[in-house]
């Protein structure tokens, strides 16, 4: 099919290049001229493992192209995927103005697509609003538009893999033609028949994804309900971590055993600085606001938000207990991205932590394998370092804020000798307490007993 993709961010670039990879003819467009220039010159504006390879290959095969003129980009396409941002408004509601401007672009285009696919994460009932907007904007072109909701379940860091080997494909439609067309779009993925750019030597045997067809409202609700449940799991683990710390129990061992129950499942039970990124916090907030506006009590999810926000407070108190005074202390921070394997720092807990430490008068040194460039345009008065050892130089404490693999296997003796004090506060429970103590570090983490050291009241001094 001929497909246009509107919005070349994390979702749009993965969607466009992977749809081209499975055989469609795709044109991507974005209203950010600088981003379009970068893409047309062959550069990829985001760090997403494997994405540049897919873009490069599908462009070379002539199936993927970029056009900065949105009108031209959508002309002649059978379907248009809306992949624009829906950032939170101050109220917490999703800002849908970009969706409305896309509706205007499509509605007023004589030769535009007739199937409009909502890929961006939007609150339920947005699809109905979108249909109304399209028919209003399309009055002069008496365009008859059809809308489908097709929420994305892409995790940053594994987005290409998640697109090509999804657990499920959710499609919300209210007419048969759209269902048929959406099935046609995803058929190669349903059959798992395409030359996969992720597994060049052949994909591991995966069960073909389910193609779940429902109404537009339900499909939109599935996305918010999914992400909010993932957030709930994380806050549940963090709540248990707070209790474990008081009791001298180990939250990782507790949640590992809890996750063995197949009804519960092991993932998203890692305690730490909490969840960040441009999905979980924003989707959770939008879901709560949608419920409030609809008159439904979502206090359960408000608690999930509160527990998550509290992580930074708890961690700063942990630092204060370890350092006594934070003012004028040298604090080395390892990791800024909201999670490993991405350069995305939006809503990253580490960004808030750095700002809190600076507000307390501490001097921050910072290193992240991928996110430093973005950090430089967000954080001021920070000493940006090129590696962990630079960050540890004369530091009173080293903080681990993002679960990058490379922070698991540093040269600890070298690091220890570079620091003013051999003190590590691990915000992601990345390291093993006993091992760090054996290396001569004072080590504290989240919800786990300190190695050997206990406070006078029997509380671990975590
Ligand atoms: C999420 C959903 O996983 C994905 O399905 C949806 O499409 C988009 O939002 P993403 O935001 O990329 O994906 O990141 P995710 O892997 O979900 O992690 C979100 C945050 O939770 C990160 O800050 C991560 O550090 C944190 N996290 C994750 C925990 O604190 N503990 C965990 O056990 C797992």
Please provide the DSSP assignment of 352-369 as one string.
Answer: HHHHHHHHTT-EEEEE-T
Whether the CB of 156 sits within 6 Å of ligand 1:
yes
Q: Walk along the chain (462 residues) and give the pLDDT tens digit of each residue.
A: 999 999 999 999 999 999 999 999 999 999 999 999 999 999 999 989 999 999 999 999 999 999 999 999 999 999 999 999 999 999 999 999 999 999 999 999 988 899 999 999 999 999 999 999 999 999 987 778 999 999 999 999 999 999 999 999 999 999 999 999 999 999 999 998 887 887 877 787 778 899 999 999 999 999 999 999 999 999 999 999 999 999 999 999 999 999 999 999 999 999 999 999 999 999 999 999 999 999 999 999 999 999 999 999 999 999 999 999 999 999 999 999 999 999 999 999 999 999 999 999 999 999 999 999 999 999 999 999 999 999 999 999 999 999 999 999 999 999 999 999 999 999 999 999 999 999 999 999 999 998 765 543 444 444
The catalytic residue positions are 279
Task: Give the domains, in start order, of the chain with CATH numbers.
Answer: 2-214 (3.40.50.720), 229-444 (3.40.50.720)
Number of Cβ within a 10 Å radius of residue 176? 8
Determine the distance separating the centroid of ligand 1 and the alpha carbon of 337, expressed in angstroms: 12
Report which ligand 1 atom has the smallest distance to the Cα of 269: 33
Determine the distance separating the centroid of ligand 1 and the alpha carbon of 280, expressed in angstroms: 7
Q: What is the pLDDT of residue 452?
A: 66
Q: What is the pLDDT of residue 251?
A: 98
Q: Quick check: 282 and 94 in contact, CB under 8 A?
A: yes
Please name every residue paired with 5 in a beta bridge, in sequence order, or none if there are none: 28, 81
Whether the CB of 345 sits within 6 Å of ligand 1:
no
With the most atoms of ligand 1 within 8 angstroms of its CB, the residue from 275, 343, 371 to mutate is: 275
Backbone phi and psi for residue 212, each to the nearest 5 degrees, phi listed first: -95, 115
Q: What is the pLDDT of residue 453?
A: 53
Residues in the chain: 462
Kindly write down the DSSP assignment for every residue of 122-170, as one continuous string: --TTHHHHHHHHHHHHTTTTT---EEEE----PPTTSHHHHHHS-SEEE
Q: Is 453 exposed, middle or buried (0-12, 13-18, 19+ CB in 10 A)?
A: middle
Determine the distance separating the centroid of ligand 1 and the alpha carbon of 430, expressed in angstroms: 16
Which residue has a Cα nearest atom 31 of ligand 1? 270
Which residue has a Cα nearest atom 28 of ligand 1? 268
Give CA separation, 79 vs 113, 178, 181, 290, in Å.
5, 10, 9, 28
Q: Quick check: 28 and 39 in contact, CB under 8 A?
A: yes
Backbone phi and psi for residue 388, each to the nearest 5 degrees, phi listed first: -65, -35
Whether the CB of 275 sits within 6 Å of ligand 1:
yes
Whether the CB of 404 sits within 6 Å of ligand 1:
no
Q: For the stretch 342-372, what's the b/e string if a residue is b when 16 or more beta carbons lie within 10 angstroms of its beta carbon?
A: bbbbbbbbbbbbbbbbbebebbbbbbbbbbb
The set of residues, in sequence order, having a beta carbon less than 8 Å from that of 142 and lying 6+ positions away, is: none
Number of Cβ within a 10 Å radius of residue 175? 12
Rounded CA separation 16/82 (Å): 11
The set of residues, in sequence order, having a beta carbon less than 8 Å from that of 157 and lying 6+ positions away, is: 48, 49, 339, 340, 341, 342
User: Nearest-CA neighbor of 124 among 78, 89, 179, 86?
Assistant: 86
Which residue has a Cα nearest atom 5 of ligand 1? 153
Whole-number average pLDDT of the chain: 94
Determine the distance separating the centroid of ligand 1 and the alpha carbon of 71, expressed in angstroms: 35
Whether the CB of 165 sits within 6 Å of ligand 1:
no
Which residue has a Cα nearest atom 27 of ligand 1? 275
Rounded CA separation 190/167 (Å): 10
Q: Between 51-60 and 10-21, two packed helices, what is the crossing angle to 10 degrees?
A: 50
Report which ligand 1 atom has the smallest distance to the Cα of 276: 23
Determine the distance separating the centroid of ligand 1 and the alpha carbon of 118, expressed in angstroms: 22
Whether the CB of 280 sits within 6 Å of ligand 1:
yes
Three-class secondary structure of residue 212 per DSSP: strand
Please name every residue paired with 180 in a beta bridge, in sequence order, or none if there are none: none
Rounded CA separation 330/396 (Å): 5
Whether the CB of 274 sits within 6 Å of ligand 1:
yes
Report which ligand 1 atom has the smallest distance to the Cα of 278: 11
Whether the CB of 155 sits within 6 Å of ligand 1:
yes
């Amino acid at each position: 099919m001929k497909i246009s993709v509107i919005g070349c961010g994390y979702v749009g670039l993965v969607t466009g290049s992977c749809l081209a990879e499975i055989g469609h003819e795709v044109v991507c467009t974005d209203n950010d001229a600088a981003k379009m220039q970068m893409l047309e010159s062959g550069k990829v504006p985001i760090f997403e493992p494997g994405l540049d390879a897919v873009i490069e290959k599908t462009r070379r095969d002539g199936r993927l192209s970029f056009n900065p003129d949105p009108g031209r980009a959508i002309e002649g396409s059978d379907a248009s995927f809306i992949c624009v941002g829906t950032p939170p408004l101050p109220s917490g509601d999703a800002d849908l103005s970009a969706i409305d401007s896309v509706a205007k672009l499509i509605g007023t285009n004589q030769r535009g697509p007739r199937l409009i696919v909502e890929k961006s994460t939007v609150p339920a009932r947005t699809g109905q609003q979108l249909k109304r907007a399209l028919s209003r904007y399309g009055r002069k072109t008496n365009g008859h538009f059809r809308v489908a909701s097709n929420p994305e379940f892409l995790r940053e860091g594994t987005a290409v893999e998640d697109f090509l080997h999804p657990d499920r494909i959710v499609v919300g439609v209210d007419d048969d033609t759209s269902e048929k067309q959406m099935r046609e779009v995803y058929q190669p993925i349903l059959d798992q028949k395409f030359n996969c750019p992720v597994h060049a030597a052949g994909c591991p045997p995966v069960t073909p994804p389910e193609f779940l067809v429902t109404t537009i409202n339900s499909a939109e609700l599935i996305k918010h309900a999914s992400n909010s449940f993932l957030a709930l799991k994380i806050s549940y683990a963090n709540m248990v971590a707070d209790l474990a710390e008081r009791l001298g129990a180990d939250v990782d061992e507790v949640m590992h055993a809890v996750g063995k129950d197949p009804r519960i499942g092991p993932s998203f039970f890692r305690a730490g600085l909490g969840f960040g990124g441009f999905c979980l916090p924003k989707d959770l907030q939008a879901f709560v606001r949608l419920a409030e506006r609809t008159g439904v009590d979502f206090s359960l999810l408000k608690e999930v938000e509160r527990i998550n926000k509290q992580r930074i407070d708890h961690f700063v108190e942990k630092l204060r207990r370890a350092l006594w005074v934070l003012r004028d202390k040298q604090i080395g921070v390892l990791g800024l991205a909201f999670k490993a394997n991405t350069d995305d720092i939006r809503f990253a807990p580490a960004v808030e932590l750095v700002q809190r430490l600076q507000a307390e008068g501490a001097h921050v040194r910072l290193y992240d394998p991928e996110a430093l460039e973005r950090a430089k345009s967000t954080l001021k008065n920070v000493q940006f370092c090129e590696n962990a050892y630079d960050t540890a130089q004369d530091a009173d404490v080293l903080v681990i804020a993002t679960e990058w693999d490379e922070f698991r296997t540093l040269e600890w003796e070298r690091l220890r000798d570079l620091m003013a004090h051999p003190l590590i506060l691990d915000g992601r429970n990345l390291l093993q307490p006993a091992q760090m103590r054996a290396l001569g570090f004072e080590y504290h983490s989240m919800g786990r007993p300190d190695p050997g050291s206990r406070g006078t009241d029997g509380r671990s001094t975590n």
